[in-house]
Homo-oligomer: A and B are copies of this chain.
Amino acid sequence: MSDGVEWAIHCCTVLAVLPEGDALPAARLAEFHKVPPAYLAKHLQALTGAGITRSVPGPRGGFALARPAAAVSLLDIALAVDGSQTAFRCSEIRQRGPAASAAPGAYRRPCGIARAMWRAEDAWRRELAATSVADVLTELVATVAPEQLLAGTEWIQEVQTRRRSRT
């Protein structure tokens, strides 16, 4: 799994606390998390492509969640950033070598090994689909020290105040 999944979930959690109508530029999100802006921008574009975030144009623009935080699952984010292909790829090695069959339809049914591996990935997906950005945020608010939450929200407010004063 790429680092981008971690960054993207953190970014969506920050975007979830923005007041309705607000947006944050990729550069500010990168600054907040101290991650390389160019890489982060690529992941934010992937999120936008998947309909998780939206790109707001203009001097007060940036990125915002495209739907309520409760409607964005960790699975949505992971698939948007890393792609929806399975981690286990079946290269059909059963069709090679001395035991391979030339009979038509011999390999119609997917390989049992691949099916077992994909059942496990389904379990992974179900678990991530059941956790939303709103869940992450709720848990964060319940467990993080109040002064840290304050530091985060104050930084965001300062950034937005500075941007408003310029426009």
Contact = CB atoms under 8 A, between A and B. Distances in A.
A20 interface: no
A90 B6 contact: yes
A53 interface: no
A93 B33 contact: yes
Given A6-B88, A151-B99, A112 B74 contact: no
A110 to B, nearest CB: 10
A138 to B, nearest CB: 9
Contacts of A9: 113, 117
Interface string A141-156: 0010101100110010
Interface in A123-155: 123-128, 131, 135-136, 139-140, 143, 145, 147-148, 151-152, 155
Interface string A87-106: 11111011011111101001
A99 B144 CA distance: 11
Contacts of A93: 6-7, 10, 33-35
Contact of A109 (B32, B34, B119, B143): B143
A136 B148 contact: no
Contact of A145 (B96, B101, B120): B101
A103 B147 contact: yes
B151 A136 contact: no
Closest 3 CB pairs of A and B: A99-B152, A34-B96, A120-B127
